[in-house]
Every structure is written in C-alpha cells, then in structure tokens.
Chains A and B, each alone.
Chain A
Amino acid sequence: MIKDIDFILNGKKVTIKVNPLSRLLDVLRDNLNCKDVKEGCSEGECGACSVLLDDRIVTSCLIPIGAVQNHEIKTSNYVTSTEKGKIIAEAFADGGAVQCGFCIPGMIIAAYDLLSRNSNPTEEEIRLGISGNICRCTGYDLIVSSIRLAVERGGDIWKK
C-alpha cells in the first residue's frame, strides 16, 4: 500500500510515494536524506529524533508519515541555518555543550522550541524544556549554560 504524501520539509514542498504507516523518522532519514535526525530509543523517550511539526517539537519515531500530510516539518539542519538557530548552534559550540554529538540535533530543536515560546527562561525552565532529550555524555550542565548563553546573545531576537 503506497500513497502520495505531500508536506513541507525545511521550507520546500515535497511529495513522496511511501507507505503512510512508515515512521516520519525513517522517511526523513532513508527517503529524504535528512541524516541529522537521529534514532535513539525508538519509543519517544530520548528525543534524539526530535523535529518541528508546525513549529512544535515532536519525536519523529512516533509519527506515521500519513499524519504529516499537508503539514510542515523542520529538522535541525534547517533550523541552524536560520538566524535564531545559528545563535543556538554557536552558543552550543562555544559553551562546550557538545561531546559525542548524537543528542545535539534533538537538543537544538528542544532549545529552539523552548526559546520560541519563552524568550527568557530560568535554569529550571531550561531543564524542563530539554527534559525530553537524553544526553549520556555531558551531564546536561554545559547544555543548560549554553542555552542561557544563546538567550543572552540573542537578546530581543527571541521575543520576535
């Protein structure tokens, strides 16, 4: 059973022929070459496969591609090419947030999702905002301080 699924991926309209029950994660990685989306736990707990669906963070391992019909998906590579995303990515690099890097695409999406709803989060709110993303290297402290750094560097940009 193959169907045509149309959606907007990273700002461009795409149409793919695919089984509508395929996971969004697999379609992004295998059919659309978005290797920045990672597979971790496969059950929605680790956040490695996070993407933005209509500008809200979702775990792409839990979404059948059929549910994305006519919606908009953004992955971390696209997000970090925007003005806001660049600030986050640079803050992550400068703040030492990245060790092995596997969780980082998901972390960037979580940070972006958080800052687009809360322009000046407290440490507690940042920890809550990335609570769906598991990192086994850093112990989170440097990720949290890097997100704070992004808040300070961005200033008013997060209020837009």
Chain B
Amino acid sequence: MEKIDCYIPETLQEALEILHREDVIILAGGSDLMVFHKNEPSLIPEFEKSVMIIRNLNELKGIRINSNGECEIGALCTSNEIAESTIVPWHLRQAASRMGAVGLRNSATIGGNIANASPKGDMPGPLYLLDARVKLTSLNGSREMLVSDFIIKFKSIDLKKDELITKIIIPYSERDFDYIFWHKVGTRKSNAISKITVGMALKFAEDEIVKDFRLSATSTGAKTNRNRDVENLLIGSKITEENISRVIEAFDQVISPRAMPVFRRESTKRMIRRFLSQCLLHPESRVIDTYDSYYVPGSPKPVFNI
C-alpha cells in the first residue's frame, strides 16, 4: 500500500506548495469527508490518498464587504459563522442556519459544501440565486468563476489539482429585491438533509412590471437548478395567473427529480405559485413565507388558490 501522509499547513502559501507538488485530499471542516471515510470505532479513518487538513488556515476565514459592495466569504467560514453574520445575504444565512446539527455547523464550511457538489447541498441554492462566484487560487495565480459553472454535475467540480477554493463572492443581497423566499423541506425541522429547497427573489419596476425574478431549487435533479429562460418569462411583464402558470410549467420541464418525483414537482409548483401570488399583493413583509399563519390579520387574502 502506498504511504498515506497527513499535512497540516499553517499558511496558505504552504498549502498551495503542497498542492503544487502532490495529489492530496483537501480536508476543511471534515463533516462530509470524515463520514465518507469513517472506519470502525477506535480505528483510523481510511483515506485512499494523503490528506491535507486546512481547517485552521486563517487566510481563508472572515466575512467582509469589498470595495464593490459585494459580500466576500472566506472558504473556511463555518455554517454558524455565516448564519450569525449580519452582512451575509439573507438567502445564504437561511440555508446556513438550517444545515445539519448545531455541532456540525461549527465544522462544516462553505468551501466544503460547494466542493462536495451534492445536489442536496444547502449552500449552492442561494449562491446560484445570487450569481455568486468562487475564487480559486494556486501558485500560478487566481481565477474566478460562477458557482453555477464551477459545479459541473453530480459530485464533479472544475477544480484543478493544484487549486484551492479561497473565497466566495456574492454580488447581490436581499436589498436588491422587493420580495424574497427561501423554504427547506426536510424530514424534520432540524438535523435534516434537504428533500427539496426552493429560493426565490423578485423586484418590481414601475407599473407592476417585474424587473428581476430569480428561482433556484435544490434536490430536484443531478445538480442545483436555476434557469434564466424560465426567469425571463416573467421579467418585463406583469404577474398574472397566466404568467404564473407559464413559469411553473416551464420550471417543471427544467427539474428532473428521480426519487419521489410527484411530491418534489408538486411542492415546487406550489411554492412558486405561493410566492408570486403573494408578491402581487404587495405585503408589508419582504419575506414571503409558506404559512398563512405568518400573515397579519386583516391583510388581503391570497388571490389564487394555493
């Protein structure tokens, strides 16, 4: 058997040098990899290659707003750090606050969640929705690309052997929209893997014309779904019963859930209808919820049946 080594670099430069000369498994929080490679109790987890533990690289931590007003999140920021931050966009905070168990959220990192490229991952949904980019760094320099391009397909990412995800940059936030929506369906409230998660955002121009509309769905196919053609069906026109149906039907063609397809398709349709029909009523709350009980008594009843 080939010798398995373990590197614990203390600086980013050191980590990049290791990546440059050797093919290693990059271990950030460990919340996926340690389960994937777990062994019997008291036995050392079995990795097929050498491992580099980057959990403590300070250069990849911290959240800030850059000079362009974009939110920059270090790849090693944990779910709890993201959920508790006041400057992270709302959709991503929601997703981070509902990932797994409390203890796991202090280990799981945003970089790891993207690199894992699971179609059920919690963070890619909001990142697709807000046109987020990843910054990839190697000894030869850096490049940036959309998260939605970086995740190629199920468990497959566009990361070169010598590159490390160093940063996630999010250009949009909830302030760019009039109404926002995020809902995760799991088998229980906490500690659950997504059965289906839908995120939406909408901005009106004058005269009820939709200026911007975005829609992403997780756990509905081999990767997170977002489709601009579907969104363009609504952008530039008014929200009408007919338009809502067109969006719903078009998005139904985009998603491809394998298990429980009827449940997943119907839930997605209902959530889209709920959101758009509520936007039309111009409720006071920017956050559109799935539950009627969240509505202030006396506010107008929804126009369309949900």
A residues with a Cβ closer than 8 A to B are: 1, 3, 19-23, 26, 29-30, 39, 42-45, 47, 50, 53, 56-59, 61-64, 66-67, 69-71, 110, 113, 128-133
Q: Which residues of B contact A21 (CB under 8 A)?
A: 4, 6, 44-45, 47, 51
The answer to whether A64 touches B42, judged by C-beta atoms less than 8 angstroms apart, is no
Considering the chains assembled together, what is the distance between the CA atoms of A66 and B27 in angstroms? 11
Q: Are B107 and A132 in contact (CB under 8 A)?
A: no
- A-B contacts, 21 of them at CB < 8 A, read A21-B4, A21-B6, A22-B44, A22-B45, A39-B41, A42-B35, A45-B100, A45-B101, A45-B191, A47-B103, A53-B106, A56-B106, A57-B106, A58-B104, A58-B106, A58-B107, A64-B27, A67-B27, A67-B30, A131-B190, A132-B101
Asked if B53 contacts A132 (CB within 8 A), the reply is: no
Quote the shortest CB–CB distance from B190 to chain A (angstroms): 3
Chain A residue nearest in CB terms to B43: A26
CB-nearest residue of chain B relative to A129? B102
User: Considering the chains assembled together, what is the distance between the CA atoms of A30 and B104 in angstroms?
Assistant: 22
State whether B31 touches A44 (Cβ < 8 A): yes
Look across to chain B and name the residue whose beta carbon is closest to the beta carbon of A59.
B103
B56 at the interface (CB under 8 A from A): yes
**Which residue from chain A places its CB closest to the CB of B190 in the assembled complex?**
A131
Beyond A44-B104, A63-B30, A131-B191, 20 additional contacts (C-beta under 8 Å) are A1-B4, A1-B5, A1-B6, A21-B6, A21-B47, A22-B44, A30-B42, A42-B38, A44-B35, A47-B103, A57-B102, A59-B103, A61-B34, A63-B107, A64-B51, A128-B102, A129-B102, A131-B190, A132-B104, A132-B190
B contact residues around A132 at 8 Å (CB): 100-104, 190-191
Our count of residue pairs bridging A and B at CB distance below 8 angstroms stands at: 114
Chain B residues 87 to 131 lying within 8 A of chain A, measured CB to CB, are: 100-104, 106-107
CB contacts (< 8 Å) of B51 on chain A: these are 21, 64
Highest count of chain A CB atoms <10 Å: which of B3, B47, B55: B55
